Amino acid sequence: MTAQAATRDMREAIVEELIRSSEGGVPVVVLVSDSTTTSAISPFRARYPDRLVNVGIAEQNLLGIAAGLSLGGFISVTANAACFLVARSCEQLKNDICYSATDVKLLGLNAGVAYGPLGSTHHAIDDISIMRGMGTIRIFAPADAIEAAQTLRHALHTPGPVYIRLDNVPLPVFHGPRYEFVPGRIDVAAEGTDVIVFALGSLVPEALLAREWAAATGVSVSVVNMSSIRPIDAESVARQAALSGRVVTVEEHSLHGGIGSLVAETLAERGLSVRMARLGIPEGEFAKAGPRAEIRQYYGIDARGIQRAVLRIAGREG
């Protein structure tokens, strides 16, 4: 990736895929909870007005109705802010969707600290942790628009619950048009030999930038896009980590139960001893409120912070 890479909002690609799949005969119904602008869903609504259900500001009802529609033969796609999805409707998520194994695909919009200054009511730094406790639901966190569309396409064509963690700003499109998202397979975004960075979603471009800067100081960094959190390619995670034995994880998520936890568990279970730094919101804290870039800077999960961690883990700091 370079600074010149084209950018695109994942939501545009998601909505395009909803229309494309609907045109292809997939019986999609999209459900929003007054979140039509949050989801940027208007092109879908214009095309399929009867297939957009707005339940109002009622997130519990959103998921119950989504489950019911899927039991009636539709594929329900919910589109609302991740913070309300996982917290307000957690029990519906557990029982109506996951325990009941209904055909519902959940889009977690504006995840992480995307709502920066709006504070912890609007941050979703616990969504992966919560989803990992929800039975068999598949958990994806695409890193660019191309991958976002592919995670949704996969979800729409395979039965059962899926959670897709999404961002709401134009992000560099670093995957080529021939990229193929495969659930349960890690995506090595860039190769290197000294340190490996496992990055989540919109922090993958930050990690790639950090990689460029580190290269300038003679440190070779590999970047892995952890877009398939469940299923996880545990063997490849372990194999990649073992290559250098120096691991950094970075996520706009709590360090409790996110990808840092997942990578650490994966390595520990295999008896792999590595130098490791987990970057994210520290366990036991809510994230601070403020502009998103400053929150990232504060917690050291932007490109500069990742670069610092990489150099530290490589033994090259100071």
Partner 1 sequence: MSSSPPLNPFQLDPAGIEERAREIRKKIVHMNSAAGQGHTGADLSEADILATLFFRVLRFHPDNPTDPERDRFILSKGHGVGGFYCTLAEAGILVPALLDTYLKFDSSLPGHPVRQKTPFVEINTGALGHGLSVGVGLALSARLSGRRFRVYVLLGDGELQEGSNWEAAMSAAHFKLGNIVAIVDRNTLQLADRTESIMALEPLSAKWEGFGFEVASADGNDPADLVRVIESFDTAGTKPHVLLASTVKGKGVSFMEGQAAWHHKIPVGDQLRQAIEELE
Smallest separation, CB 283 to partner 1 (Å): 28
* Binding residue count for partner 1, defined by CB under 8 A: 31
In b/e form, how buried is each residue of 260-279, taking b as 16+ CB within 10 angstroms? bbbbbebbeeeebebebbbb
Q: Which of 43, 56, 184, 282 binds partner 1 (CB under 8 A)?
A: 56
50 touches partner 1 (CB under 8 A): yes
49 touches partner 1 (CB under 8 A): no
Per-position x/- string for 100-119, each x denoting binding to partner 1 as judged by CB under 8 A, each - no binding: xxx-----------------
Tokens linked to 12: 């545009």
Helix %, strand %, coil % of the chain (to 5): 40, 20, 40
Q: Which of 21, 22, 35, 70 binds partner 1 (CB under 8 A)?
A: 70
Q: Tell me how far CA of residue 219 lies from CA of 125, 222, 300, 311, 314, in angstroms.
A: 30, 10, 19, 8, 8
CB 264 within 8 A of CB 278: yes
Smallest separation, CB 134 to partner 1 (Å): 13
Q: How far apart are CA 174 and CA 64, in angstroms?
A: 37
Residues 82-101 that bind partner 1 (CB under 8 A): 91-92, 94-96, 99-101
300 touches partner 1 (CB under 8 A): no
Stretch that binds partner 1, among 67-75, 137-145, 238-246, 259-267 (CB under 8 A): 67-75
Q: Which of 68, 119, 231, 290 binds partner 1 (CB under 8 A)?
A: 68
CB 206 within 8 A of CB 199: yes
74 touches partner 1 (CB under 8 A): yes
26 touches partner 1 (CB under 8 A): no
Give the list of residues 6+ apart from residue 225 with CB closer than 8 angstroms, or none: 143, 147, 186, 187, 188, 189, 199, 204
Judged by beta carbon, residue 65 or residue 281, the one nearer partner 1 is 65
